[in-house]
Amino acid sequence: MKLREFSSLLYQIKIANQELTSKFEKVTGFSLTRYELMMMLKETGKCSQKEIQHRLGIDSAAVTRHLKILEEKEYVIRERNKENNREFFVEITQKARMDLEICEKEHDRPQNPLYDVLSPTEEKQLQLLLKKLIKQEEV
């Protein structure tokens, strides 16, 4: 593949990301990053901000900004580590659990405009290609 073809491909991925992320937020009421952050906390339980940063692949300033917004909405609780005052632990609230559950019930339906664009086979192909591109797994 030539550089121009590759840059065009990357740009298409960027535009698709922007469009789908915007659509996700409009339909669910959650930013994609904050949704993923809360789901991670829901699935793993209390963890450090550093762990959130590592798992989501975003910088510490972005994690702090997202957590501040989630704290204001009473979706997370942050508390200092008593053994290391510079470190914070983060936990999801019951309110967040309930709102996530409502969101999932509303949007986990067949023919949802968020994700009815791809067939199940196409979804699997896309997942494999994305994993290969970001080198999460060898394909």
User: For residue 42, what is the domain's CATH number?
Assistant: 1.10.10.10
Same domain for 54 and 92, yes or no, is: yes
CA-to-CA separations, 7 to 10, 16, 129, in angstroms, rounded: 5, 14, 17
Domain assignment present for 22: no
Q: Tell me the backbone φ, ψ of residue 138, rounded to 5 degrees.
A: -80, 130
Q: Which domain holds residue 125?
A: 109-139
| Model confidence, pTM | 0.86
Is 110 a residue whose pLDDT tops 70?
Answer: no
Q: Tokens 């994609």, residue?
A: 32
Residue (of 59, 82, 62) closest to 70 by Cα position: 62
Please report, as a single letter, which amino acid is at residue 83: E
Q: Tokens 């949007």, residue?
A: 107
The string of pLDDT tens digits covering residues 13-26 is: 999 999 999 999 99
